Amino acid sequence: MNVATALPDITDEDRLRADLYNYLGLMLSAPPDQMLLDQTAALTGDDTDLGQAIKGLARVAKVSKPKAVRSEFNALFIGLGRGELLPYASYYLTGFLNEKPLANLRATMANFGMVRADDVFEPEDNIASLMEMMAGMIVGRFGRVATLQEQNEFFNAHIGTWSTHYFTDLQAAKSSVLYASVGAVGSAFMNIEREAFRMTAN
């Protein structure tokens, strides 16, 4: 996906939202290396549900090693034939891969000028890709900043319908250690986003 050379003026709050979406996309697309684990270990949080989840993730990251996290990632998302979890909207919403939710997402992507990267072969409705798309919409990575209404519509159509269920499953998965904490952060963040969009829609 092409990055705009000059990003427009974004509020601090929206940049933080985009940063968290980007971070989740990064963690869910591939196992973190030592640098990302160190950056995660340095995160701090407040007394909110999201802040507490971030503190918990930082604590686990401090004692995590890249090799162990790679094994955890493979067990969760790759496995022998398939991983413990299938992180796709189509699967969560219909029970099957490559179903209508994916077709709907591809139509939205086309309308917004989003193109799947040449080196990505997974269906676009992967949770990591959706996190990346949402971040890009917030900061204008796809040519322009999405309006709040467009962000709301994208979230409700492609993320809000299943992401909290997925992040709850990630917390409970038997292979989850570091990723249980990633799931806690994702779940808390999705709850905040859902409530914020609900309030702005009123």
Instruction: Scan for tokens 């990302």, then name that residue.
Output: 36
Q: Which of 4-8, 167-171, 197-201 has the highest mean pLDDT?
A: 167-171
**Per-residue pLDDT band at 143 (split at 50, 70, 90):** confident
Average pLDDT, the chain: 93
d(CA 163, CA 74): 20
CA distances from 85 to 26, 43, 51 (A): 17, 26, 26
Closest CA to 159 of 127, 185, 135, 132: 127
What are φ and ψ of residue 88, in 5° steps? -125, 140
**pTM of this structure:** 0.93
d(CA 9, CA 58): 30
Percent of the chain with pLDDT over 70: 96
User: How far is C-alpha 146 from the chain's CA centre?
Assistant: 18
Q: Given 1.20.1510.10, 1.10.3480.10, 2.40.160.40, 3.40.50.300, which CATH number is that of 12-201?
A: 1.10.3480.10
